[in-house]
Structure 1
Amino acid sequence: MTAEPEQYLSARLRRALAEDPRTTEQGVRVTVRGDHVLLSGSVATAERRSALEAVIHDVAPGLTVLDDVKVVSVDAPAGREEL
């Protein structure tokens, strides 16, 4: 059996992150190189960031996840922004 091409695996993982109810993320980039997957982008909470890795492990348990996802606050601004 031949291994799944990296671009197909990457697309399958992106789809899993978009469709899984734990994540529903479309803005996270997924790059596969050999047995490593790099996640990059930003999410609203630390829990969502952890869920990304969990979904990847569920879909492709043999991969090592390198997590470069940043948690970005989506709260309303605390004050006025001066330009």
Structure 2
Amino acid sequence: MEAPQYVAARVQQALAEDARTHELGIRVDIRGDQLFLRGEVSGFEQRERIGQVAKESVPDLHVHNEINVVEAPRPGEDEHLD
């Protein structure tokens, strides 16, 4: 059985190299047969694509997509800080 850190590294490499995601900022944690994706992205579609690429990379693990979607301000829109 492959060590968890190698599985996590393989998933992170897939997320970075896959044309659908090109994602570098996602944390991948493995616990037993569970894989956890954590981080932030700017859209629901990107979140779903990351989950899909991870599932394709490790089909034998149960993927928990815990990535948060944060709304990025649109260009030209003032950012309001409270």
TM-score (norm 1): 0.87
| Alpha-carbon RMSD | 1.7
Give 3-state SS (helix, strand or coil) of 2:47's partner. Answer: helix
Match in the other structure for 1:7 = 5
Q: Per-residue deviation at 1:81?
A: 3.0
Match in the other structure for 2:66 = 68
Give 3-state SS (helix, strand or coil) of 1:18's partner. Answer: helix
Gaps of 5+ in 2: none
Instruction: Give the number of the structure whose alpha-carbon radius of gyration is greater.
Output: 1
1 CA distance for matches of 2:69 and 2:14?
20
Cα 1:82/1:20, change in 2 over 3 Å: closer
Query: How many positions carry a matched residue from both structures?
Result: 81
Match in the other structure for 2:36 = 38
Gaps of 5+ in 1: none
CA deviations 1:18-52 (Å, max 9, x no partner) are: 11011111001000111100000001110010011
Q: Per-residue deviation at 1:68?
A: 1.0
2:17 maps to a residue whose letter is E
2:59 paired with 1:81: no
CA deviations 1:54-73 (Å, max 9, x no partner) are: 10111110110111101111
TM-score (norm 2): 0.88
